[in-house]
Amino acid sequence: MNSEKMPTEANRCYAILGTGALGGFYGARLQQAGLGVHFLLRSDYAQVREHGLQVESPQGNFRLPQVKVYKEIQQMPACDVVVVALKTTQNHLLPQLLPSVLKPEGVVLILQNGLGMESRVAEIVGPQRVMGGLCFVCANKVAPGHICHLDYGAITLGEYGPGYQPQGISPRMRQIAADFELAGISIQLAENLHLARWQKLIWNIPFNGLSVVLDAQTDTLMKNPHTRNLAEALMREVVTAAHCCGAQVDQALIAKMLAATAKMKPYQTSMKIDFDAGRPLEIEAIIGTPLQQGQAAGADLPLITMLYQQLKFWRCWERNA
């Protein structure tokens, strides 16, 4: 179990790698709460440096006229918490990004969808310096430096351990949670990160995948009985895969997630936004890796297999169009 403590709140600083919808929203909220936050940007650098970050939210709109922004990782100071909010399709950059920006006693907090990212980051910085975070938020970047938060916002935190063995709840988890709660973000602490990741996949696999192959938002998928039933069937396969991989996910989560999605404001998933913009899709992290691990553990997953194959087709078709 990780027992490392972080510096006191007044001295704790955060680096945000990837200032899109997630990184922009959470990073801006942390800075608004008074914490030291440093943002790495690429295409939005000039806009944010001159005009700051703007956040629209049901919890209150705000703008940060001045933020600490950097175009190159070498320009950033070493930080206590390095938040990885990049798309998983950019994780090949992490060996160049993480070492210089992470303090010796710091921790990497991975706010990404999918499965298996923590073990790869552990190869770069060491397993004792990795934490996973699962974001339950509806947010989009609508313009450079402009984030639109639509709904939800909670984060589940969990410590990573080799082989995803449960690590319990560490002091630094509580300290990081206190920072996010100060920023108005609801936090859940998970003793078992592996289980928490499979729980999130129950939603991510069907709704990210179906939104692309069926060209639909969440409300459309839920209103049509056929697509709603298809989403539910995919969810059941995810639970089957999780159980075969040793994550004892509660079947009752399916009904809870369907009910929450039905009440959700119409939402364009991150994978659909990336698809429409012609950007690489997080197919492997969100669907491919869970599918591979589930099948290797003996699970029969015909619907997830079909969804994965359809997404790979669309990706190839778009590249050749």
| Other Cβ atoms closer than 10 A to 171 | 12
Q: Exactly one of 200, 256, 265, 272 is catalytic; which is it?
A: 200
**Each residue of 276-288: b (16+ CB within 10 Å) or e?**
eeeeebbbbbbbb
Query: Which three-class secondary structure string do you get for the chain?
Result: CCCCCCCCHHHCEEEEECCCHHHHHHHHHHHHCCCEEEEECCCCHHHHHHHCEEEECCCCCEEECCCEEECCHHHCCCEEEEEECCCHHHHHHHHHHHHHHEEEEEEEEEECCCCCHHHHHHHHHCHHHEEEEEEEEEEEEEECCEEEEEEEEEEEEEECCHHHCCCCCCHHHHHHHHHHHHCCCCEEEECCHHHHHHHHHHHHHHHHHHHHHCCCCHHHHHHCHHHHHHHHHHHHHHHHHHHHCCCCCCCHHHHHHHHHHHHCCCCCCHHHHHHHCCCCCCHHHHHHHHHHHHHHCCCCCHHHHHHHHHHHHHHHHHHHC
CA distance 271 to 70: 26
223 is catalytic: no
CA distance 242 to 190: 17
CA distance 251 to 7: 40
CA distance 118 to 303: 27
Active site residues: 200
